[in-house]
Amino acid sequence: MTADMLGQRVKRTEDQRLITGKGRYVDDIKLQSMAHMAILRSPYAHANIRSIDTSLAKAMPGVLDVMVGADVPYNPLPMAWPAGGSAGLQNNVNMPRALATDGVKWTGEGVAAVTAETPEQALDALEAIVVDWEPLAAVVDAEKATQSGAPQLHENAPNNEVFTWTVGDRDGTDAAIRDAEVVVRQRIVNQRLIPNPMETRGDIGLYNPGTDEYTIWMSSQTPHIQRILLAIFVMGIPEHKVRCISPDVGGAFGTKIFTYADYVLVLLASKRLGGRAVKWIEGRRENYQSTIHGRDHITYLEIAGKRDGEITGLRVKTYANLGGRLSTIGPGIPTTLYARVLSGCYKIPAVFAEVTGVYTNTVFVDAYRGAGRPEATYVVERAMDLFADEIGMDHAAIRRKNFIPPDQFPYENPSGLGTASGGAKIYIDSGNYEPALNKALVMSGYLDAEAARAEARKRGKYLGFGLSSYLEVCGVAPSKWIGAVGEGWGAAMWESSNIKVHLTGKVVVTMGTQPQGQGHETTYAQVVGHELGLPIEDIVVQHSDTQGTPFGYGSYGSRTSSVGMTAAIKAAGKIREKARRYAAHMLEASPDDIEVDGATYSVKGSPDKKKTLQEIAFALDLAFDAPEGMEPYLDETAYHDTPNCTWPFGTHVAVVEIDEATGHVDLVKYVAVDDVGNKINPMIVDGQLHGGIAQGVGQALWEGAVYGDDGQLLSGSMLDYALPRASWFPPLELDETVTPSPVNPIGVKGVGEAGAIASTAAVANAVNDALRPLGIRHVDMPLTPQSVWKAMQAAKGGRA
Amino acid sequence: MIPAAFDYVRARSLDDALARLAASAGSAKAIAGGQSLLPLMKLRLARPETLVDIGRLAELRGVRKLADGRVAVGALTTYDEMMADETLGHYGLLEDALPNIGDVQVRNRGTIGGSIAHADPASDMPAILLALDAEIVARSARGERALPATSFFEGAFSTALEPDELITEIRLPGGRDDVGSAYRAIEQPASGYSIAGVAAVVGARSGDRWGFCAVGVTGVGEHPYRASPVEAAITSGASLEDAAAHACDGIAVASDIHADREYRAHVATVIVRRALEAAIARLG
């Protein structure tokens, strides 16, 4: 019997090549006579281009071609997710072109592209391009950009507004706040982050003049979607003319979902060179100015309730900074993925949110690990602590009091998971929040908080405990819902998988999802191995080439396990069914009399009469003897449209100590109790939580993109943008509750983002908890030593 | 991230290197470990026409005792070599500082001479040399001179070195039994450079006060400096707290996105106090 590896801590198949330097990333690919591209980027945050003179650059050694905006005969990059699109809400859309033409809207926007024999020659030639700039005043703060007198970026966006979108029950929430016994108000900032995947972005474009077709290698999360967007929307050619290949992708965290200008440029450059391959790879500094940033919300929250701790209303106004021009789905993040889940795991009866998307002279903003849900969790978790502090209630007790009780599922939250039109609602299908909270409290020593605080004081430290009880929505998404939820996404979110069983009995699985380090080559094999009764060594996962994989929507939103693998399970089911029918033919029995046990197909009552899946494949793939009506080969494809999203939840507890003299925050303990349903590979789940937690803590304590008022990115490299180091963390203590998801056969929920969604609020709440005895109510992130110290000084001076 | 084009030549000897530098009229730069110069070149902030590689000049490497009791550290000695040297192990402030400089690559490639010549206003070695009253020996084709550390650091990335001079060695005072030393710093978390780094040497107790105190500070001002008001307060019997309050007297305190003037000035006093405490603790 083959061991069933589903649920086991199997070491990852892909790791051998990835950790021994044998991974094959875009920059490892070297094609014959490949040329190299460098992009000239604006040094100004806001400027008109009076003229560009490329004559000197064109004459430099090794230069093959120089392009400016007017040389690109295509449409701008596409907008795929307006906010409230299908409800008719106006979005003042401004999309980037492959190269800016009349002017630039952020430091780093590309204005010219040089293609040369070597990367050095391309870079040297950039310096010879002469641009006559007319600098304009810039604005970088989203709230300030909407105020009168602010520099205007786009003629079609008065007050720099992209949209103002609302969700929830306005009148009911107004009444709840008006009539409440207690209302707490707070302005909070979820600061802009720069995502920093280990591999920056890059592409190779290759035009085939014989077939008039293009191939592009791209470090992308969505090769199939890019094929459609580039071919149909940007270049205006039939989709079969573009082939997209993502080789190994070294991390993405959302940054590689979108359509970028460089995709267009390398394809066009290759065509202009008559079919020479053209490669572009960005360095880290270039990445900071041309790949999307994340978060950047300014929020005014109002939380209302009774003196006994029952929350009756939550009202929120958020300014969401979307950058100088929109990224592919920028407007979707602070709307559907944020405001629709604001109430989190609480049964708040009245919720209303108004979100204004804003243009500023900064890099565009789009989905970054958690995409809206970290921002929502931060709002509601800070709000719960602020309300508790106002009425003198314990932070755990107020959460307990307001959790959605386990008998109220399926639960329709009032901030609008349902649609504004069309009736395609989704509900939170399951949840049981108290056991996770209780476990986390015990593990973290929360119950002895007072003693711990007193002991820390003796050492000159302020100690704080921070809770974050989160609910996240992932496993995106039912197509009817995502299309009709009011946003007009216009696309769907189903998935696909093809399974072929070869003559040799080996299995090849292909799919429309796209790994960037999650371990899909291992987890898909575990799942399909379980379905077909085969060892995972006999299952090969091939992904990432649009020629050779069925169409799918890529990997993000923690969707691969719930949606993608269900498609694989369906395909495996079709394989099993066909194998059963052919086994019946081989064994001269009726298909109804064939029993399937793992990879063994036997006749009921005559266990000696059996065939293995491998024997069936060998015969059926050759098929000299197929029965009437049965096609040769074991090759099945399935598509799966998930009926619901999935709903991971849990409670994290962070413990911090603050050095009174310097304001330095030390994370001394971190506990995470997560419910991600069943686990395909618990080791991989742990890894996802570790990484997500680290990223979320990074936001709370160290990270933050800093722009000068003139739009210069002051945190322009890792010398000034502080990424978390492993040595700054205590051991991360993980535990679980397990509530299988009813949405897919395995019962998984997805875990890629949960760590990042929970942890920022846990650490921020811990720091604010530690400072509470000083009369400090709220300090914004990042909670650097300077920020914390200044808050302490202000409090001592009587200004909290 | 690619340097502008440059010529490269490997010096055959110290005199060869000095002759090339003199002849280049400023268009050539010496390179040793390259840990500061190469990043600047990759950003094209530095564009030397020629690099003169002095990295293999063995005569500039190593730690030796001088006849007058001082210790000479060759300019090409790496941080890692300094950490392994037994003589230098007696200097508490080096023991504190060296393991935290840069990272493993920097510590194995970066040299003390390179660091001092580069004079980043937030790097650790200048504060240490100031507190030790070190002497920096510089040579050119025109001859040799010894520069006291206290007048060597003139500004951010700016020293008393002439363009055709190379540092050959750094002379430290010999070890003393009657002083303790320590290095403490609070770092900017992205780069690891000091927001405030303090090297303290305290000792020679006489009655109710310390007879000797030297405090070098980096990261706080336009360039590393000796906190003389702190030293004077200590040797006139002030408490550590009161003395440390003078950490920034007369200094134009720097400000950046990691620490503004107010916070930096405050945290300098904290780190000065902690460095003094740790130095005194080493006296047992």
B interface test, pick of A786, A788, A792, A796 with most B CB neighbours within 10 Å? A786
Question: Do A400 and A537 belong together in one domain?
Answer: no
Task: Note whether A723 contacts B190, CB cutoff 8 Å.
Answer: yes
Q: Give the pLDDT confidence of A456-465 residue by residue, as tens digits.
A: 999 999 999 9
Residue A345: closest CA among A751, A649, A557, A741: A649
Amino acid at A454: A
Question: Do B138 and B195 belong together in one domain?
Answer: no
Quote the pLDDT of residue A378: 98
Task: Note whether B263 contacts A786, CB cutoff 8 Å.
Answer: yes
What is the C-alpha to C-alpha distance for residues A504 and B29, in angstroms, rounded to an integer?
Answer: 64
Residue A223: closest CA among A197, A249, A200, A198: A249
**Structure-token match 């690559």, residue found:** B105
Q: Does some domain include residue A96? A: yes
Question: Do A127 and A245 belong together in one domain?
Answer: yes
In chain B, what residues touch A723 (CB-CB under 8 Å)? Answer: 190
In chain A, what residues touch B188 (CB-CB under 8 Å)? Answer: 720, 722
Edge-to-edge strand list for the sheet holding A103-104: A103-104, A47-53, A130-135
Question: Do A280 and A314 belong together in one domain?
Answer: no
Question: Which of these three, A624, A640, A656, is where a domain ends?
Answer: A640
Q: Which CATH number fits the domain that encloses residue A636? A: 3.30.365.10
Quote the pLDDT of residue A89: 87
Question: Do A579 and A728 belong together in one domain?
Answer: no
- Does B188 lie at the interface with A, CB-CB under 8 angstroms? yes
Judge whether residue A185 has pLDDT over 80: yes
What is the C-alpha to C-alpha distance for residues A654 and A698, in angstroms, rounded to an integer?
Answer: 13
SS3 per-residue string spanning chain B: CCCCCCEEEECCCHHHHHHHHHHHCCCEEEECCCCCHHHHHHCCCCCCCEEEECCCCHHHCCEEECCCCCEEEECCCEHHHHHHCCCHHHCHHHHHHHHHCCCHHHHHHCEHHHHHHHCCCCCHHHHHHHHCCCEEEEEECCEEEEEEHHHCEEECCEECCCCCCEEEEEEECCCCCCEEEEEEEEECCCCCCEEEEEEEEEEEEECCEEEEEEEEEECCCCCCEECHHHHHHHHCCCCHHHHHCCCCCCCCCCCCCCCCHHHHHHHHHHHHHHHHHHHHHHCC
Q: Give the pLDDT confidence of B26-69 residue by residue, as tens digits.
A: 899 999 999 999 999 999 999 999 999 999 999 999 999 999 99
Nearest Cα residue in chain B from A789: B263
What is the mean pLDDT of the segment spanning B214-241? 97
Q: Does some domain include residue A8? A: no
Question: Do A273 and A301 belong together in one domain?
Answer: no
Q: Give the pLDDT confidence of A771-785 residue by residue, as tens digits.
A: 999 999 999 999 999
Q: Does some domain include residue B1? A: no
Contact call for residues A37 and A117 (beta carbons, < 8 A): no
Q: Tell me the two tokens of residue B122.
A: 């937030």
Residues in CB range of A330: below 8 A, 6 or more apart: A81, A322, A323, A357, A364, A365, A366
In chain A, what residues touch B6 (CB-CB under 8 Å)? Answer: none
Nearest to B189 among A661, A663, A722 (CB): A722
Beta-carbon contacts below 8 Å between A and B: 48
Judge whether residue B196 has pLDDT over 90: yes
- Does A729 lie at the interface with B, CB-CB under 8 angstroms? no
Question: Which of these three, A583, A612, A640, is where a domain ends?
Answer: A640
In chain A, what residues touch B190 (CB-CB under 8 Å)? Answer: 702, 715, 718-723
- Please give, rounded to a whole number of angstroms, the shortest distance from the CA of A109 to a CA of chain B: 18
Residue A386: closest CA among A58, A781, A776, A798: A776
Question: Do B237 and B161 belong together in one domain?
Answer: no
Quote the pLDDT of residue A800: 42
Q: Residue A2 in 3-state DSSP?
A: coil
Number of structural domains in chain B: 3
Question: Do B238 and B262 belong together in one domain?
Answer: yes
Quote the pLDDT of residue A490: 60
- Evaluate if pTM is beyond 0.90: yes
- Does A796 lie at the interface with B, CB-CB under 8 angstroms? no
In terms of Cβ atoms closer than 10 Å to its own Cβ (0-12, 13-18, 19+), residue A178 is: exposed
Nearest to A720 among B2, B186, B190 (CB): B190
- Does B281 lie at the interface with A, CB-CB under 8 angstroms? no
| H-only helix segments in A137-212 | 142-145, 170-178
Quote the pLDDT of residue A623: 86
In terms of Cβ atoms closer than 10 Å to its own Cβ (0-12, 13-18, 19+), residue B280 is: buried
- Please give, rounded to a whole number of angstroms, the shortest distance from the CA of A191 to a CA of chain B: 15
Question: Do A444 and A537 belong together in one domain?
Answer: no
Q: Which CATH number fits the domain that encloses residue B248? A: 3.30.390.50
Question: Do B225 and B265 belong together in one domain?
Answer: yes
CA A4-A5-A6 angle, 5° bins: 95
In chain A, what residues touch B186 (CB-CB under 8 Å)? Answer: 662, 664, 785
What is the C-alpha to C-alpha distance for residues A755 and B172, in angstroms, rounded to an integer?
Answer: 51
Supply the range of the domain harboring residue B194: 179-281
Q: Give the pLDDT confidence of A333-369 residue by residue, as tens digits.
A: 999 999 989 999 999 999 999 999 999 999 999 999 9
Q: Provide DSSP, A262-280.
A: HHHHHHHHHHHTTS--EEE
User: For A408-417, A652-661, A723-732, which range has the lowest pLDDT when averaged over its residues?
Assistant: A408-417
Q: Does some domain include residue A484? A: no
Number of structural domains in chain A: 3
Q: Give the pLDDT confidence of A534-545 residue by residue, as tens digits.
A: 999 999 999 999
Task: Note whether A790 contacts B4, CB cutoff 8 Å.
Answer: no
Task: Note whether B259 contacts A789, CB cutoff 8 Å.
Answer: no
Q: Which helix (H) or strand (E) holds A574?
A: helix A565-587
User: For A87-96, A263-272, A649-658, B112-121, which range has the lowest pLDDT when averaged over its residues?
Assistant: A87-96
In chain B, what residues touch A123 (CB-CB under 8 Å)? Answer: 2
Task: Note whether A120 contacts B262, CB cutoff 8 Å.
Answer: no
- Does A719 lie at the interface with B, CB-CB under 8 angstroms? yes
- Please give, rounded to a whole number of angstroms, the shortest distance from the CA of A722 to a CA of chain B: 4
- Please give, rounded to a whole number of angstroms, the shortest distance from the CA of A706 to a CA of chain B: 8
Edge-to-edge strand list for the sheet holding A665-675: A461-471, A649-659, A665-675, A732-736
Contact call for residues A66 and A471 (beta carbons, < 8 A): no
The rounded mean pLDDT for chain A is 95
- Does B4 lie at the interface with A, CB-CB under 8 angstroms? yes
Q: DSSP assignment, residue A346?
A: B
Judge whether residue A422 has pLDDT over 90: no
B residues 239..278 contacting A (CB < 8 A): 257-260, 262-263, 266-267, 270
Q: DSSP assignment, residue A691?
A: H
Question: Do A654 and A610 belong together in one domain?
Answer: no
Q: Tell me the two tokens of residue A223.
A: 């090769």
Q: DSSP assignment, residue A660?
A: T
In chain B, what residues touch A784 (CB-CB under 8 Å)? Answer: 258
In chain B, what residues touch A119 (CB-CB under 8 Å)? Answer: 2
What is the C-alpha to C-alpha distance for residues B266 and A582, in angstroms, rounded to an integer?
Answer: 81
Question: Do A114 and A225 belong together in one domain?
Answer: yes
Q: Does some domain include residue B244? A: yes
Q: Give the pLDDT confidence of A317-334 residue by residue, as tens digits.
A: 999 999 999 999 999 999
Give the β-pairing of A35-41 and A278-281. parallel
Quote the pLDDT of residue A129: 98
Task: Note whether A120 contacts B5, CB cutoff 8 Å.
Answer: yes
Q: Does some domain include residue A25? A: no
User: For A78-82, A192-196, A796-800, B187-191, which range has the lowest pLDDT when averaged over its residues?
Assistant: A796-800
Confidence category of residue A421, pLDDT binned at 50, 70, 90: very low
- Does A718 lie at the interface with B, CB-CB under 8 angstroms? yes
Question: Which of these three, B146, B172, B198, is where a domain ends?
Answer: B172
Confidence category of residue B161, pLDDT binned at 50, 70, 90: very high
- Please give, rounded to a whole number of angstroms, the shortest distance from the CA of A259 to a CA of chain B: 24
Quote the pLDDT of residue A420: 44
- Does B6 lie at the interface with A, CB-CB under 8 angstroms? no
Question: Do B223 and B119 belong together in one domain?
Answer: no
Print burial letters for A32-69: b (CB count within 10 Å at least 16), e (below 16): eeebbbbbbbbebbbbebeebebeebeebebbbbbbbb
Q: Does some domain include residue B2? A: no
Q: Give the pLDDT confidence of A273-299 residue by residue, as tens digits.
A: 999 999 999 999 999 999 999 999 999
Q: Residue A188 in 3-state DSSP?
A: strand
What is the C-alpha to C-alpha distance for residues A257 and A243, in angstroms, rounded to an integer?
Answer: 17
B interface test, pick of A126, A720, A792, A793 with most B CB neighbours within 10 Å? A720
Contact call for residues B271 and A663 (beta carbons, < 8 A): no
Question: Which of these three, B157, B172, B187, is where a domain ends?
Answer: B172
A520-532 helix and A565-587 helix, angle to the nearest 10 degrees: 30
Q: Give the pLDDT confidence of A3-37 residue by residue, as tens digits.
A: 899 999 999 999 999 999 999 999 999 999 999 99
Residue A108: closest CA among A20, A21, A40: A40
Task: Note whether A718 contacts B267, CB cutoff 8 Å.
Answer: no
What is the mean pLDDT of the segment spanning A104-125? 98
What is the mean pLDDT of the segment spanning B191-219? 96
Nearest Cα residue in chain B from A723: B190
Q: Tell me the two tokens of residue B57.
A: 């000049």
Nearest to B189 among A284, A662, A702 (CB): A702
Question: Do A635 and A665 belong together in one domain?
Answer: no
Q: Which CATH number fits the domain that encloses residue B34? A: 3.30.43.10
Amino acid at B134: A
Question: Do A627 and A703 belong together in one domain?
Answer: no
Q: Does some domain include residue A156? A: no
Nearest to B190 among A124, A285, A719 (CB): A719
- Does B1 lie at the interface with A, CB-CB under 8 angstroms? yes
Contact call for residues A69 and A239 (beta carbons, < 8 A): no
Give the ipTM of the model, two decimals please.
0.95
Question: Do A786 and A696 belong together in one domain?
Answer: yes
In chain B, what residues touch A284 (CB-CB under 8 Å)? Answer: 1
Question: Do A319 and A280 belong together in one domain?
Answer: no
Confidence category of residue A104, pLDDT binned at 50, 70, 90: very high
Supply the range of the domain harboring residue A790: 294-477+644-795
In chain B, what residues touch A663 (CB-CB under 8 Å)? Answer: 263
Quote the pLDDT of residue B59: 94
- Does B186 lie at the interface with A, CB-CB under 8 angstroms? yes
A residues 283..312 contacting B (CB < 8 A): 283-285
Task: Note whether B267 contacts A723, CB cutoff 8 Å.
Answer: no
Judge whether residue A423 has pLDDT over 70: no
Give the β-pairing of A202-208 and A278-281. antiparallel
Who wins on pLDDT, A490 or A307?
A: A307
Q: Give the pLDDT confidence of A549-601 residue by residue, as tens digits.
A: 999 999 999 999 999 999 999 999 999 999 999 999 999 999 999 999 999 99
